[in-house]
């Protein structure tokens, strides 16, 4: 008696079921693994210190005033001294403000415009980043706002010139939505 061949739909069903089982098994395994993230109480700062500083309370974040001398109209304001960004509406009121992790190369104080936006890439520090918003070059290094895809923000690599101003993931999404190409960026001391 000759061997019976299985119909093609049986093969497709078997292979599809096997693939689904494999994907579910990998997803369960991945969910049980470690998840990189920024230190829960870390406040962004320029040094590569292993001891995180406490993050400001939400009330401090929402009450921070837009710096004097930061221009007028709809703009992004970045304070070098405060490591803080404001998204300012056309009526000169801050829509939101948040702290950031600066790179090792700071932009010079002044007025800029967003020249390029990029969905995602790998940063010069090897971290996968998204919502990249470029606005100037300083000392030959591109300066841009971005957030790490995995939500973490390790200190910049020692000795590596980096111009990435890293934001918390939700803040990166907000700045990406606010900062279209041509949006004004004002850097203040």
pLDDT at 25 (0 to 100):
53
CA distance to 2, 4, 5, 21, per residue, from 9 (Å): 21, 15, 12, 18
pLDDT at 51 (0 to 100):
34
Q: Is 97 within 8 Å of 84 (Cβ atoms)?
A: yes
pLDDT at 96 (0 to 100):
95
Is the pTM value of this prediction over 0.75?
Answer: no
Confidence grade of residue 58 (pLDDT, cut at 50, 70, 90): very low
Q: What is the pLDDT of residues 92-132, one digit of tens each?
A: 999 999 999 999 999 999 999 999 999 999 987 788 999 99
Task: Look over the chain and give the mean of its residue pLDDT values, rounded to a whole number.
Answer: 79
């Amino acid at each position: 008696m000759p061997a019976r061949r299985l119909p093609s739909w049986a093969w497709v069903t078997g292979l599809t079921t096997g693939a689904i089982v494999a994907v579910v098994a990998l997803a369960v395994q991945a969910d049980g693994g470690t998840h990189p993230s920024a230190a829960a109480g870390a406040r962004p700062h320029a040094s590569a210190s292993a001891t995180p500083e406490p993050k400001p309370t939400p009330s401090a974040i929402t009450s921070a005033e837009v710096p004097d001398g930061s221009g007028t109209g709809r703009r992004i304001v970045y304070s070098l001294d405060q490591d803080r960004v404001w998204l300012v509406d056309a009526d000169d009121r801050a829509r939101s403000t948040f702290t950031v992790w600066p790179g090792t190369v700071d932009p010079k104080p002044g007025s800029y415009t967003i020249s390029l936006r990029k969905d995602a890439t790998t940063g010069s520090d090897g971290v996968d980043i998204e919502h990249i918003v470029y606005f100037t070059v300083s000392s030959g290094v591109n300066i841009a706002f971005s957030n790490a895809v995995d939500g973490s923000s390790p200190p910049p690599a020692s000795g590596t010139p980096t111009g990435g101003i890293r934001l918390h993931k939700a803040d990166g999404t907000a700045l990406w939505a606010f900062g279209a190409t041509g949006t004004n960026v004002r850097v203040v001391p």
